[in-house]
Structure 1
Amino acid sequence: MDKWLKPSFANLLENQKFSDCHILVGNESFNCHKLILSSASEFYERMFLSDFQESKTAEFRLNDVSPDTLRVFLDYVYTYNFEKLKTNPNEMILNLFECGSKWLVESITADCEAVLKERAPQMSIGNLVETFQVAHNAEHKAIIKTVTFHLRRLAGGMKCYDSLFLTSDAFEEYIRICDDKIPEEDRFKMIEAYVTINGLIDVETADSGVNGTILDEFKILKDDDKPGSSKEISVVENKAAVSLPDKNCIESSAGDNKDIKLKKLHLTYVKTLLNYIHFEQMGKTTFYNVVGKSRLLTYEEKFEKMFLTK
């Protein structure tokens, strides 16, 4: 932005001159200018042009951002001061990057990307994992590529506690990029810790393995994932008298079926993760001490995998 305009626009924000809208975040209110915000963001343009009550009162509430983040965001879109943006800590840069992605502000997204790429070589493993997650949320391939390079550069550090709180798609990618950088037994332990901490397996029945009979309830689901069959339904309909089930029973049954499908989805995901493990690279003793004592595989699966070991 022109050196003369930058302080003028910053002064507009500071003194709230000619402000025509209020952005409410938490208990704080920010006096802003529709023209400036709508010029910077398609999200704000749509919000200001909507027919909702907020457009008539000029008060707009945002629930997915903190007051501190919005304050820095507004300072940026009023001044486009990249040097000032760079003075913010990593956490704030990630917050601003997320705002830019959600609110369709290409300028701040691009500038945050530049800052993150510049800082990546000096980031701790925890910061890299956090950036990896945010980049996945935004499906930003360039940042994912940069962070992946530096994660793999740190190699052994990738076996870290922070990775256990990644979302499922990000963790799957994380396990994949760990390949050849972390011993297979450690990758297996990471998977076991992740699915346990995030409740993706039934601990009480996990001894049956992800391909075993962990959930007997699956037996009531047919190939089309619907309980029962059309033949059974027709038999019931042809009976002289049929007592209708209690409403609470119907709701309970529907809830059970949803729970079964969710567990089935979880087990499929666990199986996908295990497919990334190269069991043939493990020694037999290591396999016995790690995989052999795990509850992620059935006894049959363990025997099959054991014959692949060195």
Structure 2
Amino acid sequence: MDKWLQPVYSNLLENKKFCDCQILVGKESFDCHKVILSSASEFFERMFLSDFQESQSGKFRLSEVKPETFAEFLAYVYTYNKKDLGEKPSLMILELLICGSTWLVPSIVSDCMDILKAKAPSMVISELVELFQCAHNVNNKELIDISKNNLSRFKTTMNCYDALLLTSDVFEQYVILAEGLLPEIERFKMIQAYITVSGLIHHETAEPSLDVVDDKNNENDSGVGDVAIPKSNSEDSEGEDPQTEGEPGTSKAICDSNVQKTEVHKDSDLLDEAKDSKIKLIHLKYIKTLLGYIKFNNMTKNDVYNVIGKSNLLNFKEKFDALYLTTY
């Protein structure tokens, strides 16, 4: 933007002259100009031209963005001041990059990319882990490669708290990246910590369940412990008028109602159990995938005995196989 226009548009944002819309973010509201936002972003253009109720009221709510981040976004699209943008903290630049990618603002995406490239060599590991996550979020291969190259500077300290906050798909890529940089036992510890913190581990993960019952073997059961089958109505209702059976208030109607309620509860419980089992299987598959990247032959016997042997991620056979693979 022309240097003479920058202060003019910045003043428009500050004094709120001619504002024709309100953007609601969290508990804060921002008075804006539709023409400026729509000229900067195809996302906002479509939103303002939509037939939704918000278009009539002039109030639009945005989610998944913090008020302070949106304030910086507005400061940029009103002035396009790359120099001011470059003075923001790295984490703010990452958030603005995501906003630009989501809201289709090519200029801020390009400027954020340039700034992050320049800042990456001096970033600490926590910032680089955030960069690694952000690069995957926006699916930017160039930024992914930049984060990978700079993470390799830290090597043995890659097993850090920030890695435990990565999403599951990005953490898997992080584990792959750490091969050859982190000692193999540290990669395993990092995986175990991530699985524990994320709540992905279940008691059934390492050892197979012993509670599975084969229905075929129960065909000749004595019936001990089974639910007692109630007597038939003909036995229970001697003397009761057959014409009144099933009418409201009769014992048969009450029993039928209770049976229906029981069946509904049973169906609901079965659905919950099926859903829970499916989730556990997904978690188990993910854990097995992560463990598949571990090279147990690069560990010492002491590592396997002191760490792997006490882990609940592997069953006894898998632990024995891991010990067998070690060479020293």
Q: TM-score, normalised on structure 2?
A: 0.82
CA distance in 2, matches of 1:91, 1:68: 12
Residues 62 and 287 (structure 1), Cα distance of their counterparts in 2 relative to 1, 3 Å cut: same
Give the match for residue 140 of structure 2.
Answer: 140
| Aligned-pair CA distance for 1:215 | 8.4
Matched residue SS, 1:246: helix
Give the match for residue 17 of structure 2.
Answer: 17
Give the match for residue 230 of structure 1.
Answer: none
CA distance in 1, matches of 2:73, 2:24: 14
Contact 2:101 2:138 in 1 (8 A): yes
1:1-310 paired onto structure 2 within 5 Å: 1-202=1-202, 204-208=203-207, 213-214=208-209, 246-310=263-327
CA distance in 2, matches of 1:27, 1:185: 46
CA distance in 2, matches of 1:247, 1:42: 49
Residues 274 and 9 (structure 1), Cα distance of their counterparts in 2 relative to 1, 3 Å cut: same
| Aligned-pair CA distance for 1:248 | 2.3
Contact 1:22 1:59 in 2 (8 A): yes
| Aligned-pair CA distance for 1:180 | 0.4
Contact 1:128 1:147 in 2 (8 A): yes
* Structure 1 letter corresponding to 2:319: K
| Aligned-pair CA distance for 1:263 | 0.6
Contact 1:217 1:260 in 2 (8 A): no
Matched residue SS, 1:35: helix
| Aligned-pair CA distance for 1:91 | 2.0
| Aligned-pair CA distance for 1:205 | 3.9
CA distance in 2, matches of 1:255, 1:142: 43
| Aligned-pair CA distance for 1:218 | 11
Contact 1:206 1:214 in 2 (8 A): no
CA distance in 1, matches of 2:44, 2:162: 34
| Aligned-pair CA distance for 1:217 | 6.8
| Aligned-pair CA distance for 1:135 | 1.8
Matched residue SS, 2:293: coil
* Structure 2 letter corresponding to 1:282: M
* Structure 2 letter corresponding to 1:61: R
Give the match for residue 224 of structure 1.
Answer: none
Q: CA RMSD in A?
A: 2.0
CA distance in 2, matches of 1:219, 1:72: 63
> Where does structure 2 lack aligned partners over 5 or more consecutive residues?
216-258
Residues 42 and 254 (structure 1), Cα distance of their counterparts in 2 relative to 1, 3 Å cut: same
Matched residue SS, 1:29: strand
CA distance in 1, matches of 2:69, 2:213: 47
Task: Provide the identity percentage.
Answer: 52
CA distance in 1, matches of 2:209, 2:112: 46
Residues 142 and 36 (structure 1), Cα distance of their counterparts in 2 relative to 1, 3 Å cut: same
CA distance in 2, matches of 1:264, 1:218: 19
Contact 1:195 1:270 in 2 (8 A): yes
Q: TM-score, normalised on structure 1?
A: 0.86
Matched residue SS, 1:45: helix
CA distance in 1, matches of 2:36, 2:211: 59
* Structure 1 letter corresponding to 2:162: D
Contact 1:218 1:260 in 2 (8 A): no
Give the match for residue 226 of structure 1.
Answer: none
Matched residue SS, 2:153: helix
* Residues 105-134 of structure 1: CA deviation (Å, up to 9, x unaligned): 111112112111111111111111112112
Number of matched pairs:
284
CA distance in 1, matches of 2:130, 2:178: 16
